[in-house]
Structure 1
C-alpha cells in the first residue's frame, strides 16, 4: 500500500471514525450538562420527582386523593421551569415580548382544559376556569409582586412603575368586566320576556367576542409596535448582562416539553376532582375557581414574584395583569367563537355573583395602581381581597347560580 493511500485511509478514519464518534458523544454530553445546569438553577426543582409519580399514580389506579396531591405538587416545579425558560428567551427577544410569551405559555393549561370542557359541552366549567384564572392573576399574583418588591430592603420604601402602561392595562380590564356585566344585566332583564333569552344572549356574546378579539389585536400592536417604548421594561434598570444557560432554540424546546407535562398533570388533577369532593367535602366551586387557577397560574406567580423582588415592577405588572388581559380579551372570546364553530352555546353570561366579584376586583386593582407606585401594604390589600373572595367561593354552594344546570356540570368533573 502506497503512502498516499495510507494517508487517505487515515484521513477517512479520522473523518468517519474519531470525528464521528466525537460528534456522537459531544451533543449528548452537552445536552446532559445543560439539563443539569437548568435543574440546579432552582431548589424547587427537587419536586420534579412528583412528575413521574403523579403520572404513574393516575395510570395504576391509586387513590384519587393521592393522584390529586401528587399532580398538584408536580406542577409547582414545572411552573418554575416554565418561568426559567421564558426568562432565557426574553434575554434575546426582550422583556416585553418575553413577558407576553410567559403569559401565553402560562395560560396554556387553562386553554387546554377549557377546550376539553367545551368539547364536552360543559360551559360552566369553561367559564369558572376563565374567571378563576383572571382573579388569581390580578389579585393573588399582583399582590405577591407588590409584597415581594416592598419587603426587599434594597428596593426602598416604594417601588415605581410606568403609570401609562398600568393605566392602559387596567382600562382594558375594565372593558373586559363590562363585557360580562352587559350580558348578565341583559339576561336579568329578558328573564321574564317572551323573547328567547338564551338566543339573544348568544348573539350578544358572539358579537362581543369578536370586538374583544379585535381590541386584543390592537393592544398587541400598541404594545409591540406603535408604543413599544412604553412597554420596554428593560429600560427601567441598567444591569450587567447575565450569563444564560439555554439558547433560544433550547429554551423554546424546554417551553414546549414543560407545557405538555403541565397539561398532562393538570388533566389528571381535573379527573380526580369529583372523588376529592366526595372524600373531603370541598365544593367544586372552590376547587374550580380557586385551587385549579392557583396551580395553572403558578408560572406567572413564580416569574412575577422573582422580577418584582429584583425591583423590575414594570415586568412584574406586565406578566401579572398581562396574563389576565390575555384570558379576558383573547382566551375567553376565542372559546366563545370556538363554541360557535363547534355548535356549543358558550356565552359571556356569567353568574351574577361572579360578575360582581370580577368588577369589584378590577375596581380595587385600578385604585391601587393609579399612582404608579406600590408597596407591601398595597400587596397585602390585594391578597386580603383575594382571600375574602376565596372564602366566599368556599361557602358558595354548587347548586347556586342563575341557571338551572348548577354551577358545574358534566362528565369532565364526573357529574351528570
Structure 2
C-alpha cells in the first residue's frame, strides 16, 4: 500500500483538477476533491511526523496541527472570498469539535485497545484545559451581548476585531510560554521521546520539501472543493451548517485524524493530544481571529459571532474533553465517550 500511495496521490489530484476544469458536475467534483484532499492530507501528516523525528514530539505535534489546519484555513479563505460566512463559522465549529471529540476520541480509543492506560504531561493537559476555556469565553461573551442587547452591526464588528486581537495575543503568548520559557515543564519524558526507537520516513530536507508540496496541493484542492459546496448541499438537501461542521471539517482535518491515531498506536499519546487539542486551540485562538482580519482585506466583514447551536456544540465538546484529559491519562473507555458525544452532535446537526 505504501508503494501505491504516491501514484494514487498523483492520480486523484489529476482527476480532481480535470473534473474541476472540465465541469463534470458538482457531485463528481466534490467526491474527487474529497478523495484527493484525503491523500494530500495523508502526505501532510506523514511528512509532519517525519519532521517531528528531528524536531521532537511537542514541536512535531505543533507542526502537525499547524500544517493540518492549513487546509482548514485555506478552505475558509476561499469561502470568505465567496461570502459564505455561515459555512466558514460552521467549518470552524466542526474543526474544534472534530479535533476534541473525533480525533482525541479515536486516538484514546484505538490506542487504549493496545495499551491499558496512556499517560502524557499533566501540566500540558492543565494548560490546554485553561486555554480551551479561554476560547469558549471569548466566543460566548460577544455572542451573548450582541444577541441580548441588540448591538448594531458596526459595533458588533468592532467587538469582533478587538476580541480577535486579544485571542491572537493570547495564542502568541502561549507559543512563547510552551516553546521557550516553560518548554521543559511541558515536555513529555516517558513514552514520547523523539525517536522512540524508530527511523524517520525521509531525510529532514525531504520531509520539509514534501510538507510544502502537500500544503500547496491542499490549497488547490480546497479551492476546487469550495466551488462545489453550494450545488452539492442543494442537490442532497444538506444544510450549510451540517456541510460546514462535519463534511468540510472532517475532510479539511484529515491530516490530524490519521497522524494522531497512528501516534497513539505507538503509545505516543502526548503527541496525539498535542495534535488534537493543540489543533482545536489553534483554530479557536488563531485561525478564527485571523479570518476576521482576512475578511476585511476582501472588503467582506465577517464577525466573530457564532450561532447558539454552534456555541452549544463547542461548549459541550470542551467540557467533556477537558474532563477526560485533565488528569494526564486516557483509556479506551474515555475515548469511547468522546466518540459518542461526537455522534450525538452529528445526528443533531444533520436534522437542522
Report the TM-score range of the alignment, normalised by the length of the smaller protein.
Answer: over 0.9
Task: Determine which structure has greater relative contact order: mean sequence separation of CA pairs < 8 Å that are 6+ residues apart, divided by chain length.
Answer: 2
Counterpart pick for 2:59 among 87, 97, 112 = 97
Deviation at 1:169, TM superposition (A): 0.8
Q: Secondary structure at the match of 1:242?
A: coil
CA displacement, residues 256-300 of structure 1 (integer Å, 9 cap, x when unaligned): 111111222222222122222233222222111101110111100
Alignment of 1:121-200 (within 5 A): 121-152=83-114, 155=115, 157-191=116-150, 196-200=151-155
May I ask how many residue pairs the two structures share in their alignment? 350
Normalising by structure 2, what TM-score? Answer: 0.93
Q: Secondary structure at the match of 2:305?
A: coil
Deviation at 1:240, TM superposition (A): 5.3
Identify which range, 231-240 or 355-364, moves more after superposition: 231-240
Alignment of 1:332-343 (within 5 A): 332-343=288-299
**Partner residue of 2:317?**
361
2:108–2:334 contact (8 Å) kept in structure 1: yes
Q: 1:318 to 1:56 in 2, by over 3 A?
A: same
Q: Which has the larger radius of gyration?
A: 1
Q: 1:285 to 1:47 in 2, by over 3 A?
A: farther
Identify which range, 224-233 or 102-111, moves more after superposition: 224-233
Counterpart pick for 1:230 among 173, 185, 188 = 185
Q: 1:121 to 1:58 in 2, by over 3 A?
A: closer
Structure 1: tracts of 5 or more residues without a match: 1-39, 397-416
Alpha-carbon RMSD across the aligned residues, in angstroms, is: 1.9
1:180–1:350 contact (8 Å) kept in structure 2: yes
- Distance in 1 (CA, whole Å) between partners of 2:201 and 2:145 is 53
- Distance in 1 (CA, whole Å) between partners of 2:183 and 2:3 is 32
Deviation at 1:110, TM superposition (A): 1.6
2:107–2:335 contact (8 Å) kept in structure 1: yes
Normalising by structure 1, what TM-score? Answer: 0.80
- Distance in 1 (CA, whole Å) between partners of 2:104 and 2:153 is 36
2:74–2:222 contact (8 Å) kept in structure 1: no
- Distance in 1 (CA, whole Å) between partners of 2:196 and 2:125 is 26
Deviation at 1:82, TM superposition (A): 0.9
Q: Secondary structure at the match of 1:92?
A: helix
